[in-house]
A = this chain, B = another copy of it.
């Protein structure tokens, strides 16, 4: 039997850490639903040929074969976009468009694990997909929904960094770059390999020095409002070539769209959106807004919520959409490892109902049933040990209250005593009426 050891890249949480994760997932679900996103789940596997494509992740697909089987049948999905595209394509006749969906599932990537990068992790995606035309205001809407979802968690402030692919494409073409996609993928590595590394890669792509300098300057432009527009236009004026009219038109389109996007998101969730023209996103399919999100003070974690607008969700064309994805496990891993969020206890039970002796266990069961009928989570002591031992048991489990059944002499079997084992306070109580303070009812998740 293989030795017992955690598998690198496959995180598992303790019961109290799982409470934090479940709280995060439930909060996201609630906010998504409040904004009219319906939930779907897709199977974990896709045919292998659908898991190809340009994404880095496709190299890291886990392929599946049955024990004793002869061929690989499927692969595990590496994101939720590929299965979502297939789901929409399959059901296009039944779905109503624009189709608004959220999807929260685990995905798998056989990459080298490192901090914040897992082989199995939860993603939480929202997308809006139209049949033909996708109005630009939906690019603001998905960002607003995600900003509100993150704001619903007691986290450091989230900063959404935005760019627009048309802005980048117009500018790149304008300064004479032909391989826009390749140049973009290099700029996407700016954080990892620095400007010199990017310049070297661009040289390899036969990008001129002037053009490389210009696009590295472009990537420096940031603003918390629409003032980036001036900076881009100034840079554009000083570049040696200005490109053709088409490039300039595309640049203008992207600039206007990004101004409108930033203004619109900040109007809804003040202080959240900023222009950051270094945001490239590695995937070719984006055609409008692109987003990344960092948590203040945790920029080293990288983006926890990314996405963009695409012209066509499915291979055959059509179905333009916009979506964003939260890397839930990356986020939760930071939250629990730094104890930024903690559960107030590790068990659901608010009350341990003590047992006088085994003959009286049904009395304790009946008290527990009365408490549960009013939404109070509880458990009955597993043994009828001395009360001191039963209190110790509650204490070890982190259960705040112990209920001592009365003798039922006055015929009211539900009447007994309840002890707050933290303070030692003990009061008479009726199982059909007593409520713990709201803070004790269920484990809560609070800032650590």
Contacts and interface: CB of A to CB of B under 8 A. Distances in A.
Interface in A19-62: 19, 21-22, 33-45, 47, 49-50, 58-62
Given A76-B64, A96-B396, A397-B96, A1 B268 contact: no
Interface stretch (A85-93, A173-181, A276-284): A85-93
A34 B348 contact: yes
Contacts of A246: none
Interface stretch (A2-10, A183-191, A218-226, A296-304): A2-10
B39 A22 contact: yes
B67 A63 contact: yes
B63 A65 contact: yes
Given A41-B12, A382-B135, A382-B138, A50 B268 contact: no
A315 B4 CA distance: 12
Contacts of A110: 66-67, 69
Given A348-B36, A378-B36, A1 B50 contact: yes
A377 interface: yes
A416 interface: no
A428 interface: no
Given A362-B267, A372-B34, A120 B397 contact: no
Interface stretch (A98-106, A153-161, A199-207, A407-415): A98-106
Interface string A348-374: 110000000010011001000100100
A215 to B, nearest CB: 33
Given A96-B396, A138-B382, A348-B36, A60 B66 contact: yes
B268 A369 contact: yes
B40 A315 contact: no
Copies per assembly: 2
A110 B73 CA distance: 10
A151 to B, nearest CB: 13
B397 A348 contact: no
A43 B10 contact: yes
B66 A61 contact: yes
Contacts of A437: none
A67 B59 contact: yes
Given A13-B41, A120-B45, A379-B100, A66 B63 contact: yes
A14 B89 contact: no
Nearest to A99: B15
Given A61-B66, A64-B62, A379-B36, A268 B365 contact: yes
- The CB with the most chain B CB atoms within 10 A, among A33, A43, A130, is that of A43
Nearest to A86: B4
A123 B395 CA distance: 31
Contacts of A69: 110
Given A13-B40, A348-B33, A377-B34, A4 B67 contact: no
11 contacts: A4-B90, A10-B45, A12-B42, A15-B40, A37-B348, A44-B44, A62-B64, A63-B67, A66-B110, A67-B110, A135-B382
